Amino acid sequence: MPDVRDSWPGLDHRRPSRGLQNWAVREPLARWLEAEGRAAEGLRVLDVGCGVKPYLPFFATAREYVGLDLVRTEHADVVGTAEQLPLDDASFDLVLCLQVLEHVDDPGQAIRELHRVTRPGGRVLLSTHGTQVYHPSPVDYWRWTHTGLERLFVTSATWRSITVTPGAGTCACLGMLLATYVNLATKRLHAVWLGRLVNHAVNRVAGWLDRLAPSLREPRPGALLANYHVVAER
């Protein structure tokens, strides 16, 4: 694959600024995928809902990186939906489905399709929201708990193992919600720079509090978690 490094689109996904309103989602997601990419040498990778393929540079040593999206773009190699992937059975070693599940019509069918195109011994890496504001793209249907995601995967297909991990903790989630409305308010005041400054401080303090109390990062009763990372082994 070509050496794209930081010239590739989506740098704000791979190296998100702490001043972003959704830093609590993007930063843990980027570090997770960066680590996964280091183990992807020689693999055939599918990115379902690829957009501009922002995480492709993390998988630079993969044998092939195929992007699928709803419409044909310069980055989408295949056009289709998560519920009906126009791809052969067991044709990919690693399947990514990132921040897509909340937008699909039929999550169970999407999981079955992810399972179908993953080879035996391969893995699916999926991320989706626990708590988030309404954000249609073009629709926005679902939110999850860790137990809900586990049940969805277990009841939709047969996997060797499934792990569901929060991306960040409760304080980070509260910080994200606050940062979202700080961003809206400062946009209306034409002071985006001020919103970034305030949100940088909000995200830093929220992250510090989560590190201070490890229980805040656990999916226990009372938790409020922004995002989940799922690893499903076929």
Cα–Cα distance measured from residue 88 to residue 228, given in angstroms and rounded to the nearest whole number: 28
Full-model pTM:
0.95
| Strand-pair category, 64-69 with 78-79 | parallel
Report the 10 Å Cβ neighbour count for 77: 17
Q: Are 172 and 133 in contact (CB under 8 A)?
A: no
pLDDT in the model for residue 5: 64
pLDDT in the model for residue 7: 87
Q: Are 160 and 145 in contact (CB under 8 A)?
A: no
Would you write out the chain's pLDDT as a tens digit for each of its 234 residues?
555 667 899 999 999 999 999 999 999 999 999 999 999 999 999 999 999 999 999 999 999 999 999 999 999 999 999 999 999 999 999 999 999 999 999 999 999 999 999 999 999 999 999 999 999 989 999 999 999 999 999 999 999 999 999 999 999 999 999 999 999 999 999 999 999 999 999 999 999 999 999 999 999 999 999 999 999 999
pLDDT in the model for residue 3: 53
